[in-house]
Structure 1
Amino acid sequence: MTSTAPSPASRARGTAVILAVGLAAMVVSMTQTQVVPILGLIQHKLGTTAAGAGWVTTASLLSAAVFTPLLGRFGDQHGKKPTLVGVLVVLVAGSVLAAATDSLSWLIIGRVLQGAGIAIFPLALSVLREELPHERLHGAMALVSGTLAIGGGVSLVTTGLLTQGSDASYQPVFWLSAGLTVLALLAVVALVPASRTRSGGRIDVLGALTLGGFLVLLLLPISQGHQWGWGSAATIGCSVGAVLMAALWVLVERKVSDPMVDLRMFTHLPVLFTNVAGLLVGFAMFAQFLGVSYLVQMPPKVAGYGFGASVLRASVEYLLPSTLVSLLASPIGGVLVRRIGARTTLAIGAVIGAAGFGWLVVAHDTTASVIGGGVAIGIAISFGYAAMPALIVAGVEHHQTGIANALNSISRSVGSSIGSAIITTLLASKTVAVPHLPPGVPAPPAESQFTLAFGIACVALLLVVPVALLGLRRTHSPRVADPKVALPEPANA
Structure 2
Amino acid sequence: MSTAAPTPAEAKNRNETIIVFALSLAAMVVSMMQTLPVPILGLIRTDLGTSTANVSWVTTATLLSAAVFTPLLGRFGDQHGKKPTLVAVLGVMVVGSVIAAVATSLPLLILGRVLQGAATAIFPLALSVLREEVRPQKLPGAMALVSGTLAFGSGLALVATGLLTSGSDADYRNAFWMATGFATLALLAVAFLVPATRHKTGGRTDFLGALTLGITLLLLLLPISQGHEWGWTSGRTLGSFAGAAVMTAVWVFTELKVSEPLVDMRMFVHRPVLMANLAGILVGFGMFANFLGVSYLVQMPEKLTGYGFDASILRASVQFLLPGAIVSLLASPIGGQLVRHRGPRVALGLAAGLGAVGFGWLALDHGHSFSVIGAGLIVGAAVSFGYAAMPAVIMASVPHHQSGIANGINSISRSTGSAIGSAIVTTILASKTIEHLPAGVPALPAESGFTLTFWIGAVAFALVAVISWIGLRGAHGPRTVEAGTPAAAPAKAAEPEPAKTV
TM-score (norm 1): 0.96
Residue by residue over 1:307-330, the C-alpha shift from the partner in whole angstroms, topping out at 9 and shown as x without a partner, is 010001000000011111111111
Tell me how many residue pairs correspond in the alignment.
485
Q: Give how far 1:6 is off.
A: 5.7
Aligned to 1:485: 496
Alpha-carbon distance change, 21 to 487 in structure 1, aligned in 2, over 3 angstroms: farther
User: Are 1:253 and 2:264 matched, yes or no?
Assistant: no
Superposition pairs for residues 161-200 of structure 1, below 5 Å? 161-200=163-202
Q: Indicate conservation of the 8 Å contact 1:283/1:412, yes or no.
A: yes
Superposition pairs for residues 208-287 of structure 1, below 5 Å? 208-287=210-289
Superposition pairs for residues 113-192 of structure 1, below 5 Å? 113-192=115-194
Aligned to 1:331: 333
Superposition pairs for residues 384-423 of structure 1, below 5 Å? 384-423=386-425
- The 3-state SS of whatever aligns with 2:355 is helix
Q: Which amino acid aligns with 2:253?
A: L
Q: Which amino acid aligns with 2:447?
A: E
Q: Indicate conservation of the 8 Å contact 1:93/1:110, yes or no.
A: yes
Residues in 2 aligned to 1:45 and 1:288: alpha-carbon distance in whole angstroms = 28
Aligned to 2:14: 12
Q: Indicate conservation of the 8 Å contact 2:344/2:475, yes or no.
A: no
Residues in 2 aligned to 1:201 and 1:261: alpha-carbon distance in whole angstroms = 14
Aligned residues with identical type, % of pairs:
62
Superposition pairs for residues 344-493 of structure 1, below 5 Å? 344-438=346-440, 441-474=441-474, 478-479=489-490, 481=492, 485-486=496-497
Q: Give how far 1:482 is off.
A: 5.2
Residues in 1 aligned to 2:170 and 2:231: alpha-carbon distance in whole angstroms = 33
Residue by residue over 1:211-265, the C-alpha shift from the partner in whole angstroms, topping out at 9 and shown as x without a partner, is 0000000000000000000010100110111011111111111111100000111
Alpha-carbon distance change, 198 to 480 in structure 1, aligned in 2, over 3 angstroms: farther
Residues in 2 aligned to 1:179 and 1:446: alpha-carbon distance in whole angstroms = 40
- The 3-state SS of whatever aligns with 1:7 is helix
Alpha-carbon distance change, 140 to 315 in structure 1, aligned in 2, over 3 angstroms: same
Alpha-carbon distance change, 184 to 480 in structure 1, aligned in 2, over 3 angstroms: farther
Q: Give how far 1:269 is off.
A: 1.0
Q: Runs of 5+ in structure 2 lacking a partner?
A: 1-6, 477-487
Aligned to 2:298: 296
Q: Indicate conservation of the 8 Å contact 1:394/1:487, yes or no.
A: no
Alpha-carbon distance change, 443 to 487 in structure 1, aligned in 2, over 3 angstroms: farther
Residue by residue over 1:97-151, the C-alpha shift from the partner in whole angstroms, topping out at 9 and shown as x without a partner, is 0001111000000000000011001011001001110011000000011111221
Aligned to 2:324: 322
Q: Give how far 1:442 is off.
A: 2.5
Q: Indicate conservation of the 8 Å contact 2:345/2:475, yes or no.
A: no
RMSD: 1.6
Q: Which amino acid aligns with 1:205?
A: F
Residue by residue over 1:327-386, the C-alpha shift from the partner in whole angstroms, topping out at 9 and shown as x without a partner, is 111100000111111011101111011001111111110000000111110110010011
Residues in 2 aligned to 1:120 and 1:304: alpha-carbon distance in whole angstroms = 44
Residues in 2 aligned to 1:232 and 1:56: alpha-carbon distance in whole angstroms = 22
Q: Which amino acid aligns with 1:258?
A: E
Q: Give how far 1:432 is off.
A: 0.7
Alpha-carbon distance change, 488 to 411 in structure 1, aligned in 2, over 3 angstroms: farther
Q: Give how far 1:484 is off.
A: 6.9
Q: Give how far 1:267 is off.
A: 2.5
Q: Give how far 1:161 is off.
A: 1.1
Alpha-carbon distance change, 370 to 235 in structure 1, aligned in 2, over 3 angstroms: same
Q: Give how far 1:180 is off.
A: 1.1
Q: Indicate conservation of the 8 Å contact 1:396/1:479, yes or no.
A: no
Aligned to 2:103: 101
Residue by residue over 1:403-445, the C-alpha shift from the partner in whole angstroms, topping out at 9 and shown as x without a partner, is 000000101111111111111010011111243232xx53111
Q: Give how far 1:483 is off.
A: 5.7
Alpha-carbon distance change, 488 to 249 in structure 1, aligned in 2, over 3 angstroms: farther
Residues in 1 aligned to 2:54 and 2:291: alpha-carbon distance in whole angstroms = 22
Q: Give how far 1:475 is off.
A: 6.9
Q: Which amino acid aligns with 1:486?
A: E
- The 3-state SS of whatever aligns with 2:137 is helix
Q: Give how far 1:29 is off.
A: 1.0
Aligned to 1:60: 62
Aligned to 2:88: 86
Residues in 1 aligned to 2:491 and 2:289: alpha-carbon distance in whole angstroms = 33
Q: Indicate conservation of the 8 Å contact 1:69/1:403, yes or no.
A: yes
Residues in 2 aligned to 1:328 and 1:42: alpha-carbon distance in whole angstroms = 33
TM-score (norm 2): 0.94
- The 3-state SS of whatever aligns with 2:351 is helix
Q: Indicate conservation of the 8 Å contact 2:323/2:377, yes or no.
A: yes
Q: Which amino acid aligns with 2:15?
A: R
Q: Which amino acid aligns with 2:262?
A: M
Residues in 1 aligned to 2:475 and 2:371: alpha-carbon distance in whole angstroms = 41
Q: Runs of 5+ in structure 1 lacking a partner?
A: none
Q: Give how far 1:478 is off.
A: 3.3
Residues in 1 aligned to 2:430 and 2:183: alpha-carbon distance in whole angstroms = 36
Q: Give how far 1:480 is off.
A: 5.6
